[in-house]
Structure 1
């Protein structure tokens, strides 16, 4: 639309006017892709074992279900076969584990239950990784005609006695203070510092700045129901975590959503952005936005201000439109003719 318009007419803020018209197009909104993934946000590493548990289901496998539990401190994994995923079955399984290791601080019985956004498995990444690992073990045992329960027990025994790459210690040593076979404990110092360094390395791999939604900000929120549109209009009620929000939609419901499941309604770029402290990341993020076809009007004001604060010198003065983009017949027109030109561009778009 911009290219066609520039071949015939030009007025101040022509890009912004055309973008505003495109944002009001309901079919275009319905087909919008998900926003860029937010930067990795690691769970804080608990200082003591069995303080925070991550749980998930592996299901179905040979018409059976497995409850997977992983301790965030020691990376100790429990995998128990259950017949159903009902609340009673899950509670019975958890009681058996709690009778051996005690009650954790987070997940019933005065325990704080931390929920994650639905349809966003990376928010519970520790449990998802454990589920994937156990599923691979069960499939391998099935292919080798081995007893599944025996194979699972053997794997868990070896895993709990093997040094974990994140913590640098065996899960058995981290949870129980000893190796399962009674050999010398291979305790390592500064485990918390090593875990945080590993987390920072993973977080720094992504170059996208964190997008932030403000309270009472109108947004588009991902709709996962089988009926209705892909994106529903809503209003941010509260920020419940570094990357999670409560969003109220027009139907009166409140949904917990990850920032990856939220789009802004007012601008082309999604929500305001918090620039990374690394100058290289700030530069790469800005360059990527400009390389994707954005004009002087494509940036959010909050993104621009954050970038200016991170830079050492003053912001460069705005440049006029490149002359190579304008045809020789370009002319400045008044408001009535401008509106007629926008309608013409819309017809050309629909015809295309």
Structure 2
């Protein structure tokens, strides 16, 4: 789920089919959010898992009771880490692009639902097993229910996402981060303070950190381990350039930016 303003909307995305539902809300309270979600559930059924951001609407007791009553698992993304809610973020960008021209919003959504994705099937076909009738001329046979080969589709989707991840990791030089242990001291660059790891959070790749202002939850990418604890610099794209032989000069460790990038001075010829 995701909110965005100018005029407040709640956006519901089906992860499997990327079918997007949009509801306009006059007030962003827990009651209005629950009412909009109930209306969506009445059309498509109750999902097994609901992933949302950390808005106060989702942290209320009303929403917790709603999740218990309807029997779905509620997961929130890591605070200050929108990539963890990537499906909703991408869907917001898609809807904004559809509505950018100022045309009829419902017709723009209908066109999106009926347009084939990169897999060759439209969101409506993946969710309902049939194509939707639009204002464009269509053969009646195309509107007959016909499910895609779901086994083949899932295999292609796994390969497609694995390739996307591989390309992203190569482009950004991604390296796996070390697993943090309870009691380990970490540095929080955004808060500019130290904290102590309390435990691994229930959400993926997140930890509960104890700071002087209380406990907070942060994604692993927001936590930096000091070199005194690990012996190596975290997020370094290459091995340390510090020479292994003894020298009288004190060698300073490489400077690490707040984003985790290691800044090294250029190597020059000693002429």
> Could you tell me the TM-score, scaled by structure 2's length?
0.71
- Cα contact 1:69–1:77 (8 A) shared by 2: yes
Where in structure 1 are there 5+ consecutive unaligned residues?
A: 1-54, 224-228, 272-284, 297-318, 332-337, 343-352
1:232 aligns with 2:194: yes
Structure 1 distance, partners of 2:189, 2:37, is: 33
Would the alpha carbon gap of residues 184 and 113 (structure 1) be closer, same or farther in structure 2, given more than 3 Å must change?
closer
> Max radius of gyration: which structure?
1
| Cα shift at 1:122 | 0.8
Which of 31, 34, 39 aligns to 1:91? It is 34
Equivalent pairs counted in the alignment come to 216
Out of 258, 279, 295, the position equivalent to 2:242 is 295
Tell me the equivalent position of 1:169.
121
Cα distance per residue 1:148-171 (max 9 Å; x no partner): xxx221111111111222x54211
| Aligned twin of 1:140 | 101
Q: Corresponding residue for 1:76? A: 19
82 and 241 in structure 1: CA distance in 2 versus 1, 3 angstrom threshold: closer
Indicate which of 156, 161, 164 corresponds to 1:202.
164
Give the whole-Å Cα distance in 2 for the aligned partners of 1:89 and 1:187.
36
1:56 aligns with 2:2: yes
2:215 corresponds in structure 1 to: 254
Cα distance between partner residues in 2 of 1:170 and 1:160: 6
Which residue of structure 2 lines up, in the alignment, with residue 127 of structure 1?
88
Partner of 2:113: 160
SS of alignment partner, residue 35 of structure 2: helix
TM-score of the superposed pair, with normalisation by structure 1: 0.55
Q: Deviations over 1:315-344 (max 9, x none)?
A: xxxx536xxxx7xxx68xxxxxx9xxx9xx
Measured after TM superposition, the shift of residue 117 of structure 1 is: 0.7
The alignment partner of 1:234 has SS state of strand
Higher relative contact order (CA 8 A, sep 6+): 1
2-structure distance, mates of 1:256, 1:168: 39
1:153-201: per-residue Cα shift (whole Å, max 9, x none)?
Answer: 1111111111222x54211111111111324637245111111111111
Task: Determine helix, strand or coil for the equivalent of 2:8.
Answer: strand
Q: Who is 2:257 aligned against?
A: none
Q: Which runs of 5+ in 2 are unaligned?
A: 51-66, 134-142, 253-271
> How far, CA to CA, are the matches of 1:254 and 1:195 in structure 2?
38
The equivalent of 2:180 in structure 1 is 214
Mapped to 1, the partners of 2:46 and 2:126 lie a distance apart of 17
For residue 95 of structure 1, report the CA deviation from its aligned partner.
Answer: 0.9
Task: Give 2:234's match in structure 1, choosing from 247, 252, 270.
Answer: 270
Q: Secondary structure at the match of 1:103?
A: coil
Shift, 1:247, TM fit = 1.9
How far the C-alpha of 1:261 sits from its partner, in A, is 0.7
Distance 2:84 2:117 in 1: 21
Distance 1:135 1:270, change over 3 A: same
Contact conserved, 2:201 with 2:217, CA < 8 A, in 1? no
Q: 1:140 is paired with a residue of what secondary structure? A: coil
Alpha-carbon contact 2:129-2:147 (below 8 Å) kept: no
Give the secondary-structure state (helix, strand or coil) at the position aligned to 1:201: helix
CA distance in 2, matches of 1:204, 1:159: 28
